[in-house]
Each structure stands twice: as structure tokens, then as C-alpha cells.
Structure 1
Amino acid sequence: MNEKVRKFLHRFFGLLTIVLILVLAWQWIQSQPATSKVKQTTNKVLTQKQGKYSKKERQELKAAVAKQDQQGLNLSKQGYVAIPKLSILLPIYDNAYSKVALDKGANTVQKDGPVPVMGQGNYTLAAHNWDNGYTGFSALQQKLKQNEPYEDSNGKLGTSDWLNGTKIYLANQNGIYTYKVTGQTTVDQNDGSVLNPEDRIDGKAKLTIVTCLFPDTTKRIITNAKYSDFVSWDKAKSDELGYFDLQKQKTNVLP
């Protein structure tokens, strides 16, 4: 092997090694939802039970979902919200205007009116965006630490369709309610119009999820979803039941 060929191969393999290191480093960074600046989805997914749930197991799931677990804090629990694609599983309480309640999970948002009812009207929820892509409703923001596409550099508010079609499940003592995301919008923190209990999507009941935008915390990301189905605990499919199997699933209230 002559000297020119040797030097060429040395440089080639040296460059190839650097490229491989950079690629592996980038992949590792993207696998860390708390540090990745460009997030598509979290890597953790809700696990599924292998096999079917017995009648007894279904009743146990129902009881666990409906259990009042924060009575000492004077919080009433409605049930749970699950967004499997984003590994979101949070209990739902009835006081979004209480710091104590928001530290415990998601909360219904209506303040001066009847408490929202799953599967009816405009069911409104709020939870923290902890700016880490995982905790609370953080995963609903398309890109970490970037206002866009919800707000551009000139302050113009925008929308996002990155979650369109994503299923959101609500569960209470009656059963499991399914909604499908129709889009995300952005509003100012003081804009309460999205909480209108009379709002619908195509004449159907809707779900409205409110969470902060980061880094501009004066704005709110609004995730809209249309009601599509309800199933009782004794009729639900195993995968739907599995999302609320609290013996196997881990809530994302905290990391």
C-alpha cells in the first residue's frame, strides 16, 4: 500500500468514526425527554396486559379509578385521563384553581358553574406543563423550549395539528370515554372563552385541555378533542382497560 492510499484511508475512517459518534450522540439526546429540544413523542409507553381481564379484575379497575384518594386535602376525584401516545396518565380532581390540586394531577377547569361531566358538553381539563416533555401535560407541547408553532417571533398566535386523530381516554366509575384530537390552538392566559360549557365540535361533546406554553408562560396551549365513544367497564376492550390498570401503570404526575 502506497503512502497516499494509506493517508486517504486513515482520514476516511477517522471522519467516519466522528460521524458515527455524532449520530449516536444525537440519538441519545433525543431519547431523553427532559432535555431534548425537539420532541415528537415520549419514548415511554403505557404497558399492556397480556390476555383478557376477568369480571373480578374489571370491577377492581373500576374501584381503583373511582377511589377518593385525596380526601385529606378536600379534593374530589372524578377519575383519570389517559393519552397513550404521549404516556400521559393522570388522576382528575375538581379544583384547577388550587395549587395543591394541580400538584396532584389534572383538574376540571369550570369555576362558576356546574362541574363538567365526562362525555357531555365541553369537558375542560387543566394540568401543569413542567417543560420537560413528560410530567403533567408537558408532552402536549410539540417542541420543548420553543414557542413555535403556537406563537411566532412577532407574537402572532398559531395552531398545531401534530396530534390530530390522537385518542384521549377519560375514565370514571361508569366506564371509559374516548375522544379524538382535532387540533391545538393558542390563547392568552386570561382568555376564558375556551371554557364555554356550551362549546361543541360538529355538534358533538368536546374535550378541552389547557396547559401552559413554554417559554412564553403568558400563553396557553389549548388541545381540542371530539367525543367519539363510551364503553362500560364490563364491555371495554383489554387494551382500553389496560391504560387504567393502576397496579401496572405509572402516572406521570411526577417524573
Structure 2
Amino acid sequence: MKEKVRKWLHRFFGVLTIVLIGLLAWEWVQSQPATNGIKKTANKVLTQKQGKYSKKERQAIKDAVAKQDQLNVPLNKQGFVAIPKLSILLPIYDNAYSKVALDKGANTAQKNTAVPVMGQGNYTLAAHNWDNGYTGFSALQEKLKQNAPYEDSNGQLGESDWLNGTTIYLANQNGIFKYKITGQKTVDQNDGAVLNPDDRIDGKAKLTIVTCLFPDTTKRIITNAKYVSFKNWNQANSDEVGYFDLKKQKTNILP
């Protein structure tokens, strides 16, 4: 009897060990954005500094956000964009039609018109989708390496509401502008109608973010967001200021 019990325990713990190894391996795969086709959000949100920012600290953050840092290219920095839920933090420049500029971060996307103004009209941005779920605007795609729900197997274009209500912040030397995502849609790569500077959402200013779809890179994911509010650097709460604290936060520009 003792021998039977010993053999049973040996088999039980052997099976348990295999199961545990399998579970750990699955969790590791799921934690890798570039290998997980169903992962919907980044692993880590932007960190926040505990406590309050002093007036002096706010001024330092404001100066860093507005600092012109690409004068040799040249590119004019407009500020930063942050989407905390997706761990997106990118500087904004002014030329979405330059490969050099897109490798530096996000860029305003209007063509043959004036550079847009945060909190006014249709503020359009573009950045790379690196097809890995975490750099550039990659995290805006609902599922990795799958056209759906943005395009079906018959080539019909679709929409997604998976980010509806998500907050996007834009920041420049004046302060922090808050937007809420209202939906995503898909357009052909040559469809410039989404860049119309006069577009609004419910009569309010809007934000339009353009990034490639993968694997069908001839299509673009359009993320629309409605303007909510503006606060200057002294009015903004510490969490909002903290998203742009470049001494603590890391940008997600390149893989």
C-alpha cells in the first residue's frame, strides 16, 4: 500500500510541476507585447510622482516640455502627447511627412495648412505603429498582427470602440489640454479628409491621431478624441503634471 501511495504522489507532483511550468511559460508569453496577438493594453502605465509639485518644479517641467531640442534637423517642437492608459509619451514636432521627424516622435499632420493649435480646431497627429504594442502609437491598435476589427477578410473597413472614454493629454508651454477618445475608424492611406482643420466633435475642438494598421499597411487607424478642458501648469493637478515629468517618465519613441 505504501508503495502505491508513493507512486501516486510521485505522479501527482510530476503532473503538478508540468502544469505550473506551463502556466509560468504562458504568463511570460502574455507579458511580451510583441508576441501577444490578443493583448489590449500596455503592461505598465506611466508612473506618477507622489505628493504635490511646487511652483518651481512645475516651471521646470514646463520648460522641459517646451524646449526646442531638434534645431539641427530642423524640427519645431510643439509639446508632448501622453496617453497614460497605454503608456504613451511622445514629443510632438511639426512634420508628419518626414521620415526623420517620425523617428523623433509624433508630428502634426496637416499638409499645406498652418500648424494646428492645441485645444483649437482639429489637432492632427501622426506617429509610427511599430507593430509591437508599445512603441510610437502601436498601442492604439486593438490586436497585434490582426486587421480586425479595423478591416475584415473581405477588405471592408470597420471601427473600434475599445478605447472610448480613454484620456489623452497634450501639453505645451501654456499648459495641459485634456481630450477623451470617442472612437476609432479605418481609412485608406491616401484619404486626407480626416485632416480637415475645420472638423469638430459635437461642436467642440477635436484631436485626430493617425497611425498605420498592421498587417495591412495600406490602411490607417484614425483615433478621434473630443476636447474636454485646459489647465495652465499651476492649475493642473499633480498627476497630470507628473505625466510630463521627463526626469521620471520615459518616452516610447523607438523599439
Normalization by structure 2: what TM-score? 0.95
Structure 1 position 51 matched with structure 2 position 51: yes
Number of the residue aligned with 2:252: 252
Q: CA deviation at 1:4?
A: 6.5
Structure 2 distance, partners of 1:222, 1:5, is: 63
Structure 1 distance, partners of 2:223, 2:43, is: 21
Number of the residue aligned with 1:73: 73
SS at match of 1:177: strand
Higher mean C-alpha displacement, 116-125 vs 17-26: 17-26
Number of the residue aligned with 1:86: 86
| Deviation digits for residues 69-112 of structure 1 (CA, Å, limit 9, x no counterpart) | 00110101100000001110000000000011000000000011
Number of the residue aligned with 2:116: 116
Higher mean C-alpha displacement, 28-37 vs 59-68: 28-37
Number of the residue aligned with 1:172: 172
Number of the residue aligned with 1:187: 187
| Deviation digits for residues 20-48 of structure 1 (CA, Å, limit 9, x no counterpart) | 22221111111112222221111122111
Higher mean C-alpha displacement, 224-233 vs 5-14: 5-14
Number of the residue aligned with 1:36: 36
Number of the residue aligned with 2:100: 100
After TM superposition, the structure 1 = structure 2 runs for residues 140-179 of structure 1, keeping only pairs within 5 Å, are 140-179=140-179
Structure 1 spans left out of the alignment, 5+ residues: none
Structure 2 distance, partners of 1:196, 1:66, is: 26
Number of the residue aligned with 1:126: 126
Q: CA deviation at 1:2?
A: 6.7
User: Aligned partner of 1:70: which letter?
Assistant: Q
RMSD after superposition: 1.4
Q: CA deviation at 1:149?
A: 1.0
SS at match of 1:71: coil
Number of the residue aligned with 2:204: 204
User: Aligned partner of 1:24: which letter?
Assistant: L
Structure 2 distance, partners of 1:10, 1:230, is: 65
Structure 1 position 137 matched with structure 2 position 137: yes
Structure 2 spans left out of the alignment, 5+ residues: none
User: Aligned partner of 1:210: which letter?
Assistant: V
Q: CA deviation at 1:62?
A: 0.9
Structure 2 distance, partners of 1:100, 1:211, is: 16
Q: CA deviation at 1:16?
A: 3.2
Q: CA deviation at 1:196?
A: 1.0
Number of the residue aligned with 1:15: 15
Higher mean C-alpha displacement, 40-49 vs 84-93: 40-49
User: Aligned partner of 1:134: which letter?
Assistant: Y
Report how many residues are paired.
Answer: 255
SS at match of 1:26: helix
Normalization by structure 1: what TM-score? 0.95
Number of the residue aligned with 1:63: 63
